[in-house]
Structure 1
Amino acid sequence: MKKEKKKKNNKKPNVLEKFKNHKFLHAMIYVVLAIIIYAALFSNVKPETLDIEPFTPSKETIYAPTTVVDKEETERKKKEAYDSVEDQYVLDKNISEDQVNLISSIFDAIIEVRKEGANTETSDKEETILTPEEKVNRLVNEKLTDTINEKIPKETFLPLMSASDEDVTLAKNAVVTAVNNAMSKEIPIVQLTEAKNQVEEELKSYSLKKDVLQSSITLARFAIAQNYFLDLDATNQKRQQASEEVKEVQIKQGQIIVDEGELISREVYRKLGLVGLLDDQISYKPFIGLGILVLLIITGIIYFFEKKDNKIKNNSLLLYCFIFTITLLLMKILSLFQKIDYNHIGYIVPVAMGAMLVKLLLNERIAFLTSMIFAICGSIIFNEGVTGSFNFSVGVYYLFACLVGILFLGDHNLRSKILQAGLFVSIMNCLVLLAILLIRNGSYTNVEIGTYFIMACVSGLVASVLTIGFMPFFETGFGILSTMKLIELSNPNHPLLRKILTETPGTYHHSVMVANLSESACEAIGADGLLARVGAYYHDIGKTKRPQYFIENQMNIENPHNKLSPQLSKNIIIAHVTDGVDMLKKHKMPKEFIDIAEQHHGTSLLKYFYHQAKQTNDSIYEEEFRYPGPKPQTKEIAIISIADSVEAAVRSMSNPTPDKIEKLVRSIIADRLQDHQLDECDLTLKELDIIAKSFCESLKGIFHSRIEYPELTKKQKVKQS
């Protein structure tokens, strides 16, 4: 008998269940989702290639798909900068001083020879006066260098030897002054003749005799020399510096290379080739980069879905894949309008729909991650025709729309709340769009601004409408028990709840009490309190088939079990589990409710009927008086199971006090542990202690002591007298 029961409880799951829970299915879904994302973004990162010929009009406006360095143009600009630097010259002041000293020394030599020629002694002590020609010869032979003699004719000195001392002195001063004035300025080689002519003109302004003036001019022109020289080192340094200061010429991503109708010149054709629009071989870098991005996105999704403490069920991953694909498909379809000059069509996409559906049907944390993913994908898909670029405006717009939709929904997942969330998303879309337009600081017509805000409003409202429209399909198709669905099922007007209320009012009251206890205990340990509450409403639905056999429904009638054998009574009591499962399946209730109805008694023992049968037949096996199970598989079902026993036991107490309640609660939990009824759920001892405290707090509030009203007591005494 024991072996047969064990075999029954350890029934192997069927092939379909095994496949649904197999890790391979998860891996396959992740791969499919990665392929979908990659395929959606592929065309937006694929480098374009154009079939165009030079010297023909462009059929369209062509934008640079990527940022590249134009090395040829950079080198040309560097050469222009190098060549534009003028030669660098340096003024040699030493030459200026030397030339002034030179001309002054020549005149000093002339004056010295003049003095010597006027007072010359012979060998016989007689004085001899030299002729001007002899003075010139002495000057040339004894006083001047060969270099000077080669450049200045002897005849130049003759007028100066014949002139008076005053004329010579005047000539010296005039020549030295003129040479000094000229040499103090910059005299490059090309301006040497000009400088000599200026000296000559300056000397003509002095009152010099004609022959002395001519000699002075010759000497002055001789003294003028180049003092401004080309500095090759400085010139090369300046040119190199100018060349290095030239920044790299870049063709920016999104930059217009040629407008529609403009002639494709040789230079334009060269730039088209430079950015890869003429290449026969497409670069694989964008595809590798997209693969890395998709890998990061899938890694984030895997992290959320495969966490050990994740409460999302297996088929939820497939649901997530559907929601993600639908949202991405909407983006992709609307992005096609970019090709007909609707570059800002991305603002109308109801992207908040995807985030709100994920939040309502799955989990808020995964919804936040999905919001970021939608923002990234949207910024690539709506890149305004520039392949490989990111439209950060659309990305920010999508991120705010999704986050606002998620946050505004909060925990109140009613259908009216979804519409309100859509309206709030529309308002936030308008504010974000206004911020984007102001930051861009562009000029927009009233029509453009109006179009932007209409798209922003439509995006939010359509997102809420689509969310409400998709919810029933996803809930039914994937068996998702959303918060909204739970709230609907908790309505007392539901046919099954009305059936319990009208046919088994005692069971209904018991179920409500169990629901209250279960919800508070689940919330205390972080389990799903709403699921426990609503599931508890239906956990005893099977009692409606034979209501009079359950003590809470026996009002003013004899207990039918008094006339039945323990075995028959046991069968009737146990049958409420299978009857409840059948009724819930017939009404197509969520699987979670069916599990609660099936597992809330686990394999526990009907002690009363077992001991009653044992008194008459000692060979009775304990397993015959146990529920068929299975044992509770989740925290929520385990808590409902304990609450079911606790509520019934406390209600049967004659005078419940806080101490008695706590003692009873902990004894029931200990009994469940000893009977191994909690072995297959993941409740910890610490959580069981928290559950016990929660039950005690709730029960103390329900079974608190009441005061006796004086007026009522007085009336009763008067009536008795």
Structure 2
Amino acid sequence: MMNEETKPKPGFTLRKRFRLSDRWKTSRRARLLLYLGLGAFCYLLLMGQVLPQQYNDISPGKVAKESIVSPVTKVDQKATEKVREKAAQSVGKQYRIDEQLADRQVKRLENIFNEIPNHLSDKDKSDKEKIANLKEVLPYGLSDEFYQKLVKVKDGEWTEMRILSREMVQEVLADGVRKNDLEKERDRVDRGLVTSSLGSPARYVVRELTRQMIVPNEFYDKNRTEKLKDAARDSVEPIPIRKGDVIVAAGDVVTKDQYRKLKELGFLGRYTDPAPYLGLALLIAVVLGLLASFVRWFRPEVYRDNVKTTMLLSVFLLTMLGMKVISLGQNLEWSTVGYMAPAALGTMLIALLLDLQLALWCAILFGVFSGMYFNEGSHVLFDFRYGLVSFVSGSAAAFALSGVRNRLSIFRAGLFSSGASVLTIAALYALVPVDGDGWILLQSLGFGAAGGIFSAVLTIGFLQHFETVFDMLSPLRLLELSNPNHPLLRKLLIETPGTYHHSVIVGNLAEAAAEAVGANGLLCRVGAYYHDVGKTKRPQFFIENQMAENPHDKISPNLSKSIIISHAKDGYEMLREYNIPTPICDIAAQHHGTTLLKYFYHQAREQSDGAQVLEADYRYPGPKAQFKEAAIVGIADCVEAAVRSLARPSPERVENMVRKIIQDRLEDGQFDECDLTFKELDLIARSICETLQGIFHSRIEYPEDSHQGKGVKPA
């Protein structure tokens, strides 16, 4: 742990003026706005491709200027709904009988017949007292005449009364009693008593009790009614407007029904039916959602960097604009011009600037939009032929850019894309022959061949602009920067040949190490070429450029420290002056991190005469390595200088030195701000050791020539 006094000072601020820009680079809100902006542009570009042709001058009662034919088979919604509603209305109301209610009424009747005899059997009570008691136990609102008749019923009639009452109640309620038919059903009791042998009082009592027990028990069943109506509706077959049906013939007076059909088919008014607009918006949202999801999960470094996201979406929009321009030339004479769609433009730019897998995913999305752009009829949303050819063309171009070494490779990729398109078009023609003669096929093949070349030309033209605007490094740009004739490398070679040689070896070490851990090896190599360019300001103060005396022997350790440390900042500023891309500038600024200049620090302590010397004063100002490539170049730089100092480098001594340097940097916290893992550090150490063995291999010692008395140099 370092105390407060020995902590390294903050690194020199390289880009304070870009502080607001840096916050924008990682803003989620800005990222969302970028995708929304692309979606809005795509919506505007595709709107004319998916919405039907409009006939706003047609109205009922007017004469049609041209015949309008249905381009699709579509259900006539209004006619179908009319027939279905008629079928539903034919279904009557459905009722259900409450069986439990019937049982309850019968039980109540039984309870009454069980209770009445108990109150009538008491001989000590008068009829008036019996009636009073019965009114208490029979609270059914029965008339006084009922009770007067009740006390006159003979004892032998109770059993018949019970049976007859129960049978009539069960019979009537079993058939169901609706509220509106209640009185009619109660009248059935009178007909049932006609043949009864009961006396007049008993018949009257039975009639009143039975009528009281007959209540509505059949109710309207809304659910069942609606289900039967739905079933009736579903049984009606849809009435179609078939593809090819003439909706309105030229010269006919447009009827209301024809006008309605035109409206349902989407021929009338741009704002009469919002469904196509909503559908297009949802489709674009799905496609861009898939793009954002792929980038987030499989290319998080692109997703988190809004600069790269902006570049990706700009390429996407540029490709969409190219397709739009080509689609403007599609007509009856040039119906297959869609095979010239520049889908390969987008995939090649993405493959060169970002990633091959991302380019292949975008090729799928470009295929979707290409099929929509070049549909041969506004009612056919997607023409699979153009979508498939665009996907194949774009994918082939992206694959062909693998291992690209110069800008001519882009043209070769365009030719490869053209060949893939031609083969696909020929296969489609063989599987699904197009209408017309062989001229259509030749036209299609010609457009397919031109598409790849056209995309390659556009890619070469736009690539440099994207590299400049977004400060991106494509493999081509890196290869151009690695050219020894670049002004800065020429300056490095001429003014600091030792540093130049050192940088070349560091580049070899760093490239191999980066490839071992999946980092950008080409960036490491080119970054290593430029990492010490700041030494050209004071070349004689760096040991690899010293031919005789060491100027540090004549100055103080503090001044020496200042000169050595300044080369990182000087290099960064020189690279910015020459408009070298930011990643290479950052490697120059970060390759030393905040490491300690141990030699001058210990020298200063020895010469301090007891005065305190702060370790922080002898550390590089940083910043520490922010990405893998900068950390790898820093390791390779330190290793190359250290191994060169070994008197007799052996594989064991070299490996021990390499691992010690990496361990010291790890313990010093130099990798805290980049995402190198312990496993990757081990792979880096192995790779560097293997490369060093090829550089510092053993030499054969030649015997001296006894006649000439001097060593013989090997050829």
Check 1:278–1:589 CA distance in 2 against 1; reply closer, same or farther (3 A cut): closer
Contact persistence 1:430–1:453 (CA under 8 A) = yes
| 1:608 equivalent in alignment to 2:610 | no
Give the 3-state SS of the residue equivalent to 1:716 in structure 2.
Answer: coil
Corresponding position of 1:29: 34
Q: Deviations over 1:638-685 (max 9, x none)?
A: 111111111111111011111111111111111111211111111111
**1:297-329 CA deviation, whole Å, 9 max, x = no partner?**
222222233348633343111112221112111
Counterpart CA distance in 1 for 2:506 and 2:363 is: 38
Cα distance change of structure 1 residues 74 and 295 upon mapping to structure 2, 3 Å threshold: closer
**Alpha-carbon deviations, 1:333-370, whole Å to 9, x = none?**
33233467643331222221111111111211221121
Match of 1:220 in 2: none
- Which range is displaced more, 373-382 or 437-446? 437-446
Say whether 1:414 aligns with 2:411: no
Q: What is aligned with 1:444?
A: 436
Q: What residue is the counterpart of 2:265 in the other structure? A: 275
For the 8 Å contact 1:66–1:389, the answer to whether it is kept is no
Superposition pairs for residues 310-389 of structure 1, below 5 Å?
310-312=300-302, 313-338=305-330, 342-387=334-379, 389=381
2:684 to 662, 675, 691: 691
**Cα-to-partner distance string for 1:52-91 (whole Å, 9 max, x where unaligned):** 35798754564535541258999999xxxxxxxxxxxxxx
User: In the alignment, which residue of structure 2 is the partner of 1:52?
Assistant: 58
1:596 maps to 587
- In the alignment, which residue of structure 1 is the partner of 2:493? 501
Partner Cα distance (2:400, 2:66) in 1? 45
Out of 525, 531, 534, the residue aligned to residue 517 of structure 2 is 525
Q: State the partner residue of 2:43.
A: 38
Residue 570 of structure 1 aligns with which residue? 561
* CA shift for structure 1 position 41: 2.0
Alignment correspondent of 2:284: 294
Q: Please give the secondary structure, in 2, of the residue aligned with 1:337.
A: coil
Q: 8 Å contact 2:8–2:594 — kept in the other structure? A: no
Equivalence map 1:44-193=2 (5 Å): 44-50=49-55, 51-52=57-58, 59=65, 62-64=68-70, 66-70=72-76
Cα distance change of structure 1 residues 379 and 250 upon mapping to structure 2, 3 Å threshold: farther
Shift of 1:282: 2.9
> Cα RMSD (Å) of the superposition?
3.2
The one-letter amino acid paired with 2:580 is M
1:641 to 634, 646, 657: 634
TM-score when scaled to structure 2?
A: 0.71
Q: Answer yes or no: is the 8 Å Cα contact 2:6–2:615 preserved in 1.
A: no
- Give distance in 1, aligned partners of 2:308 and 2:623: 24
Q: Are residues 1:428 and 2:416 paired? A: no
How many residue pairs get matched?
550
Judge which range, 503-512 or 311-320, deviates more.
Answer: 311-320
Look up the SS of the partner of 2:603 in the other structure: helix
Residue-by-residue CA offset, 1:176-201 (whole Å, 9 max, x unaligned) = xxxxxxxxxxxxxxxxxxxxxxxxxx
Bigger radius of gyration, 1 or 2? Answer: 1
Counterpart-to-counterpart distance in 2, 1:583 and 1:61? 72
Task: Quickly say closer, same or farther: Cα 1:19–1:443, change in 2 above 3 A.
Answer: closer
The change in CA–CA distance for 1:608 and 1:323 in structure 2 (over 3 A counts) is same
CA contact (8 A) 1:44 1:387 kept: no
2:651 match:
658
Mapped partners of 2:241, 2:320: distance in 1: 32
Instruction: Judge conservation of contact 1:514–1:643 (CA < 8 Å) in 2.
Output: yes
1:716 equivalent in alignment to 2:705: yes
| Structure 2: gaps (5+ residues) | 84-233, 711-715
- Please state if 1:20 is matched with 2:25: yes
| Amino acid paired to 2:706 | K
SS at structure 1 position matched to 2:329: helix
Match of 1:237 in 2: none
Compared CA separation, residues 58 and 256, structure 1 to 2 (3 A): farther
Moved more, 468-477 or 423-432: 423-432
Structure 2: distance between partners of 1:497 and 1:318: 32
Find the residue that maps to 2:308 and give its secondary structure.
helix
Q: Which of 465, 486, 491 is residue 483 of structure 2 equivalent to?
A: 491
Q: Secondary structure at the match of 1:666?
A: helix
Alignment of 1:629 with 2:622, yes or no, is yes
Q: Which residue of 2 aligns with 1:559?
A: 550
- In 2: Cα distance, 1:444 partner to 1:609 partner: 85
